[in-house]
Structure 1
Amino acid sequence: MNNKGFNWFFPIAIAVILFIFLQPMFSSSEGPKIDEEKFYELVEAGKVQEVLVYNDVNKADVFLTKEAKAELSAGAKKQSDPFAAFNPSTGPDYSFSFGDKTFLLENYREIKQANPAIKTSMDYTTAKNPITEILFSVLIWVAVLGLFYFFLFRRMGGGGGPGGQIFSIGKSKAKLFDEKDKVQVTFKDVAGLEGAKEEVQEVVDFLKNSDKYTRLGGKIPKGVLLVGPPGTGKTLLAKAVAGEAKVPFFSLSGSDFVEMFVGVGASRVRDLFAQAKAKSPAIIFIDEIDAIGRARGRGNITGGNDERENTLNQLLTEMDGFGTDTNVIVMAATNRADILDKALMRAGRFDRSIYVDLPELHERRQIFDVHLSKIKLDENVDREFLAKQTPGFSGADIANVCNEAALIAARNNHDSVTKQDFLDAVDRIIGGLEKRNKAIKPSEKKRVAYHEAGHAAISWLVEHAAPLLKVTIVPRGRSLGAAWYLPEERSLTTTEQMFDEICATLGGRAAEQTVFGTISTGALSDLERVTKQAQAMVTVYGLNEKVGNISYYDSSGQSEYSFGKPYSEQTAKTIDEEISKIIENQYTRALQILSENRDKLDALAGKLLEKEVIFREDLEEIFGKRAWDPELTEHPVTSIEDPTSHGNVLNPDQTLEQ
Structure 2
Amino acid sequence: MIDKKAKNKNNFFWIYAVIFAIFIGIFFFKSSFSDPKKIDQDTFFDILSRGEVKKIIVKHKEIVHVFLKKQFLYSSNKKDSINIPLLDKGNEKKFIPKSLQYEFEIGDLQFFQKKFEEYKKKYSLDTIIDFKNQQEYTISKFFFDYGIFFILLIIFWIFLFRRIGSASGGPGGQIFNIGKSRARLFDENDNVKITFKDVAGLEGAKEEVQEIVEFLKSPQRYTKLGGKIPKGALLIGPPGTGKTLLAKAVAGEAKVPFFSLSGSDFVEMFVGVGASRVRDLFEKAKEKSPCIIFIDEIDAIGRARGKSSIAGSNDERENTLNQLLTEMDGFGTNTNVIVLAATNRSDILDKALLRPGRFDRTILVDPPELNERKEIFRVHLQKLILSTDVDIDFLSRQTPGFSGADIANVCNESALIAARKNRSKIENQDFLDAIDRIIGGLEKRNKVIKPNEKRRIAYHEAGHATISWLLEHAAPLVKVTIVPRGRSLGSAWYLPEERQLTTPEQMKDEICALLAGRSAEEIIFSSISTGALNDLERVTKQAQSMVAIFGLNERIGNISYYDSTGQNEFSFSKPYSEKTAQIIDEEISKIITEQYQRAKDILKDNEKKLSILANELLEKEVIFREDLKKIFGDRPYPDEIGDMLSNIS
Q: TM-score, normalised by structure 1?
A: 0.74
Residue 607 in 1 paired to residue 616 in 2? yes
Residue 623 in 1 paired to residue 632 in 2? yes
CA contact (8 A) 1:321 1:349 kept: no
CA offset at residue 454 of structure 1? 0.6
CA offset at residue 473 of structure 1? 0.5
Residue 273 in 1 paired to residue 279 in 2? no
CA contact (8 A) 2:234 2:363 kept: yes
CA offset at residue 301 of structure 1? 3.6
Q: In the alignment, what sits opposite 1:330?
A: 339
Q: In the alignment, what sits opposite 1:639?
A: 647
- CA displacement, residues 397-449 of structure 1 (integer Å, 9 cap, x when unaligned): 11101111111111111122222211211111111111112111111111101
Q: For 1:84, give the aligned amino acid.
A: S
SS at match of 1:354: strand
SS at match of 1:84: helix
CA contact (8 A) 1:47 1:67 kept: no
- Cα 1:433–1:178 change in 2 (3 A) is same
Q: In the alignment, what sits opposite 2:88?
A: none
Q: In the alignment, what sits opposite 2:595?
A: 586
- CA displacement, residues 91-143 of structure 1 (integer Å, 9 cap, x when unaligned): xxxxxxxxxxxxxxxxxxxxxxxxxxxxxxxxxxxxxxxxxxxxxxxxxxxxx
SS at match of 1:560: coil
- Cα 1:606–1:148 change in 2 (3 A) is same
Q: In the alignment, what sits opposite 1:541?
A: 550
- Cα 1:618–1:156 change in 2 (3 A) is same
Q: In the alignment, what sits opposite 1:225?
A: 234
Between the aligned partners of 2:356 and 2:97, the Cα distance in structure 1 is: 86
SS at match of 2:569: helix
Q: In the alignment, what sits opposite 1:308?
A: 317
- Cα 1:260–1:569 change in 2 (3 A) is farther
Q: In the alignment, what sits opposite 2:165?
A: 156
Q: For 1:318, give the aligned amino acid.
A: E
CA offset at residue 270 of structure 1? 2.4
CA contact (8 A) 2:161 2:174 kept: no
SS at match of 2:568: helix
Quick one: which of 555, 564, 568 aligns to 2:564?
555
CA offset at residue 370 of structure 1? 1.8
- CA displacement, residues 298-331 of structure 1 (integer Å, 9 cap, x when unaligned): 3454433444333322222222253353111111
Between the aligned partners of 1:314 and 1:617, the Cα distance in structure 2 is: 64
CA contact (8 A) 1:221 1:329 kept: yes
Between the aligned partners of 2:494 and 2:483, the Cα distance in structure 1 is: 17
CA offset at residue 295 of structure 1? 2.7
CA offset at residue 386 of structure 1? 2.3
Residue 477 in 1 paired to residue 533 in 2? no
Between the aligned partners of 2:174 and 2:485, the Cα distance in structure 1 is: 48
Q: In the alignment, what sits opposite 1:437?
A: 446
Q: In the alignment, what sits opposite 1:216?
A: 225
Quick one: which of 512, 515, 532 aligns to 2:521?
512
CA offset at residue 465 of structure 1? 1.0
CA contact (8 A) 2:301 2:321 kept: yes
Quick one: which of 343, 367, 372 aligns to 2:376?
367
CA contact (8 A) 1:339 1:556 kept: no
Between the aligned partners of 2:586 and 2:175, the Cα distance in structure 1 is: 61
Between the aligned partners of 2:184 and 2:494, the Cα distance in structure 1 is: 44
Q: In the alignment, what sits opposite 2:540?
A: 531
Q: In the alignment, what sits opposite 1:10?
A: none
Q: In the alignment, what sits opposite 1:84?
A: 140
Between the aligned partners of 1:69 and 1:517, the Cα distance in structure 2 is: 97
Between the aligned partners of 2:497 and 2:554, the Cα distance in structure 1 is: 26
SS at match of 1:558: coil
- CA displacement, residues 279-306 of structure 1 (integer Å, 9 cap, x when unaligned): 2122111212223223334345443344
CA offset at residue 583 of structure 1? 0.9
Quick one: which of 383, 389, 411 aligns to 1:402?
411
List runs of 5+ in structure 2 lacking aligned partners: 1-18, 24-68, 81-95, 104-126, 128-136, 146-152
- Cα 1:87–1:537 change in 2 (3 A) is same
Greater displacement, 232-241 / 554-563: 554-563
- Cα 1:154–1:619 change in 2 (3 A) is closer
Q: TM-score, normalised by structure 2?
A: 0.75
CA contact (8 A) 1:471 1:482 kept: yes
CA contact (8 A) 1:299 1:561 kept: no
- CA displacement, residues 562-610 of structure 1 (integer Å, 9 cap, x when unaligned): 1211111111111111111111111111111111111121121121112
Q: For 1:404, give the aligned amino acid.
A: E
Q: For 1:638, give the aligned amino acid.
A: S
Between the aligned partners of 1:331 and 1:262, the Cα distance in structure 2 is: 26
Residue 454 in 1 paired to residue 476 in 2? no
- Cα 1:69–1:327 change in 2 (3 A) is same
CA contact (8 A) 2:222 2:229 kept: yes
SS at match of 1:284: strand
CA contact (8 A) 2:625 2:645 kept: no
Q: In the alignment, what sits opposite 1:426?
A: 435
Q: For 1:313, give the aligned amino acid.
A: N
- Cα 1:489–1:68 change in 2 (3 A) is closer
Q: In the alignment, what sits opposite 2:117?
A: none
Residue 289 in 1 paired to residue 345 in 2? no
Between the aligned partners of 1:428 and 1:466, the Cα distance in structure 2 is: 21
Residue 500 in 1 paired to residue 509 in 2? yes
Q: In the alignment, what sits opposite 1:100?
A: none
CA offset at residue 83 of structure 1? 3.6
CA offset at residue 154 of structure 1? 8.8
Between the aligned partners of 2:428 and 2:279, the Cα distance in structure 1 is: 53
Q: How big is the alpha-carbon RMSD for the aligned residues of Structure 1 and Structure 2? A: 3.4
Aligned-pair identity (%): 69
Q: For 1:429, give the aligned amino acid.
A: I
The total of aligned residue pairs comes to: 534
CA contact (8 A) 1:190 1:236 kept: yes
Q: For 2:208, give the aligned amino acid.
A: E
SS at match of 2:307: coil
Between the aligned partners of 2:101 and 2:311, the Cα distance in structure 1 is: 66
Q: For 1:522, give the aligned amino acid.
A: G
SS at match of 1:232: coil
Q: For 1:444, give the aligned amino acid.
A: E
Q: For 1:442, give the aligned amino acid.
A: P
Q: For 2:454, give the aligned amino acid.
A: K
If asked which structure has higher relative contact order (CA below 8 Å, sep 6+), I would say: 1
Between the aligned partners of 1:617 and 1:467, the Cα distance in structure 2 is: 12
